[in-house]
Structure 1
């Protein structure tokens, strides 16, 4: 009960600060309180960026009262241009020579503040939070563990050691490369010139080498699902190539009998808003998706409030359900099969990539094998046609 009251008081204080135009906020981190918001940069005091000040105060009512007073003091110092980092921190926010766990944690927290924009909408905050938890946090944690075990500072050698701790040609390695590259840019650490090549694993994605299900096999797997609600989830993913979580974050009113069948994925998803066409369109009837246009409540009842859950948790729920039904394919098999289908049908790569919600570069790397074969086949057909003519 005391913790609940503390949380309510903290929310109320921050709401009052926002109403008064104050940009700093009090936040609770474990058993301690800190301040967060735009603060002067040490190198350029006239410039501001989102940073954190650890107050060292306990997370209780007394600590909260003290934190509020300190916040007011810092606000006054900033207004009168008297704020000095030496008073609030013994180390410069940009002097990164960590030798222990606390120092590294502070660096990553500073980087996290840069990652999140305090002026975002609730929707984009939820999307960024999901992206941080899945694509950044695990790899930064491993970097931190290696720095502590080696008792060394953050440098390009440590970054490289962390990257190569993941299997070559794996998606984890590619994501690790992206996360560490972003942190290196923030810390002004120069990585090896071939960094991108070393973390290029996604270009040799398993999708290129595994046998993806045929359309007939997908239709057979659909029949293995006993629950009609999860059948609709399967049908949507197969027909539109959706990511796991996107099924629950899209406008399905287009599936009404008089709708255009062009699905709009909402902005609060992993890669933002995009539109998708059905491939093949006849699956809309085969998987009985028209009923979704009339009643979206026919989808499974799972938590989709992004203030209570994350996109990863929603996606994980879908994957768990596929395993529960012992389906002979994964959710991403459906997505990859959709992509290959569009390649065989001759849809331009730029259009297909846009529908899938990723860049053309990612699309080309991931589906290079099939795209190359399609283009080669076109060249062969053209050559044969010229001979016959």
Structure 2
């Protein structure tokens, strides 16, 4: 067996394997499955020996996180998305309670209607329900949130830009203005 430091585990698995007990448990489970495979007696029902519908919110949140990072590359952006979009919603779920359709619906109803937050909760909890194989339709709770329409900026015409450029006397400032106008640069 390779030392724990040799395991090819990305940062995204840190919540699963962050404690020595988690690594020990994973190694034991891998050995047990390996023995069953070698003996030809492996069965997925033995791996998931508890009934699916008796699993807690905490269990399904962990399963969802593993599934999330299996489906996408573990990058700073995917970690940020996990943290800002998913983890914030999952914090509202009680870890030790059974995950049910009523619980999911109640968590969504605990957010303000017609907001981006409500829309995010519906999206995230619908995805969690799919992973947990819970039949629930939360779409009717999404509401009518729409991002504010972006008004087009009032931009000067090409002729006005050229006239302003010609009126600048300092060469450095004229160059600076030209860069801003050409490439849309803005001073910070």
Q: TM-score, normalised by structure 1?
A: 0.34
1:162-241 equivalent positions in 2, closer than 5 A:
162-192=107-137, 195-203=138-146, 205=147, 207-208=148-149, 215=154
What is the aligned partner in structure 1 of residue 22 from structure 2? 33
In 2, distance between residues paired with 1:158 and 1:70? 31
1:297-316 equivalent positions in 2, closer than 5 A:
none
- 1:167 deviation in Å? 1.0
Alignment partner for residue 5 of structure 2, among 7, 11, 18? 11
What is the aligned partner in structure 2 of residue 380 from structure 1? none
Higher-strand-fraction structure: 1
- 1:197 deviation in Å? 3.5
Whether the aligned pair in 1 keeps the contact of 2:114 and 2:144 (CA below 8 Å) is yes
Alignment partner for residue 135 of structure 1, among 59, 65, 85? 85
What is the aligned partner in structure 1 of residue 183 from structure 2? 284
Q: Aligned Cα RMSD in Å?
A: 3.8
Which consecutive residues of structure 1, in runs of 5 or more, have no partner in the other structure?
1-8, 18-26, 36-54, 58-66, 217-256, 258-280, 289-321, 323-389
What is the aligned partner in structure 2 of residue 332 from structure 1? none
The reply on whether 1:97 has 2:47 as its aligned counterpart is: no
The reply on whether 1:125 has 2:74 as its aligned counterpart is: yes
Which consecutive residues of structure 2, in runs of 5 or more, have no partner in the other structure?
10-15, 156-178
In 2, distance between residues paired with 1:71 and 1:189? 28
Distance 1:79 1:115, change over 3 A: farther
Distance 1:109 1:34, change over 3 A: farther
In 2, distance between residues paired with 1:174 and 1:112? 20
- 1:284 deviation in Å? 2.3
In 2, distance between residues paired with 1:286 and 1:104? 48
Distance 1:215 1:32, change over 3 A: farther
1:72-91 equivalent positions in 2, closer than 5 A:
72-84=31-43, 90-91=49-50
- Residues 11-60 of structure 1 show CA distances to partners (whole Å, capped at 9, x for unaligned) of 31x14x9xxxxxxxxx624452248xxxxxxxxxxxxxxxxxxx2x8xxx
What is the aligned partner in structure 2 of residue 354 from structure 1? none
- Residues 53-103 of structure 1 show CA distances to partners (whole Å, capped at 9, x for unaligned) of xx2x8xxxxxxxxx3x663453242244323567666514xx1224xxxx3
Whether the aligned pair in 2 keeps the contact of 1:96 and 1:107 (CA below 8 Å) is no
- 1:189 deviation in Å? 1.8
Higher-helix-fraction structure: 2
Whether the aligned pair in 1 keeps the contact of 2:89 and 2:124 (CA below 8 Å) is yes
Distance 1:287 1:108, change over 3 A: closer
Residues matched between the structures, number: 157
1:240-259 equivalent positions in 2, closer than 5 A:
none
